[in-house]
Amino acid sequence: MKILAVDMQGFYVNSQFYVKELAISSGVGGQQNHYLFEAPTPYNSLSSADKKTVNHVTSNVHGLRYSTGYVSYDKINEIIKSHICNADIVYVRGHQKLDFLESKFWEMNLTHFPLVRNVDNDDSVKFEKDLPMCMNHLPDKKFMCSLRNCDVLHKWLCDSLPK
């Protein structure tokens, strides 16, 4: 049985969630894939309300700049299909992430896709902001980092699931 830990950070733009950072962890050694996506649309084309939301999320939630990234957003379906869809179970933290993945599975018309489980209500999973984060986040605050969250989730899975 293939089990993955997945975490993502992103922005709501045009009433739709866009992934900015995606981390996927699997296997005993915790093999990881990590992606930082380019913006789906240019910042200056966003509405005033979307700019305000993007600025708030950057400054107060994950510290990822909207305009940074090294993977084209056009690749997200391909990445999900090649790295996530072959799993049996995917563990995420939060209904937003669960909803995003499930909607992507349906959007891609897949015949097989994994069960997605939300661990948000499991008190034994502790997501701390004090752990080191990847270099993509603004350095002056403690922000949510997908790579760090994925590490925590993967460790919890290794400790919790039967061997």
Domain ranges of the chain: 3-160
CA dist list (Å): 152 to 51, 81, 117, 161: 31, 23, 15, 14
- State the pLDDT at residue 125: 66
* Spatial distance between the Cα atoms of 146 and 71, rounded to a whole number of angstroms: 16
Kindly report the pTM of this predicted structure: 0.89
Rounded to 10 deg, the angle between the 76-83 and 95-107 helix axes is 100
Nearest CA-CA partner of 100 in 53, 146, 44? 146
- State the pLDDT at residue 7: 93
Q: What is the CATH number of domain 3-160?
A: 3.30.420
Nearest CA-CA partner of 21 in 79, 60, 105, 86? 79
- State the pLDDT at residue 114: 93
User: How does pLDDT run along the chain (163 residues), one tens digit per residue?
Assistant: 888 999 999 999 988 999 999 999 986 566 789 999 999 999 999 999 999 999 999 998 898 999 999 999 999 999 999 999 989 999 998 899 999 999 999 999 888 889 999 988 766 666 665 556 677 877 777 777 888 888 888 888 877 766 5
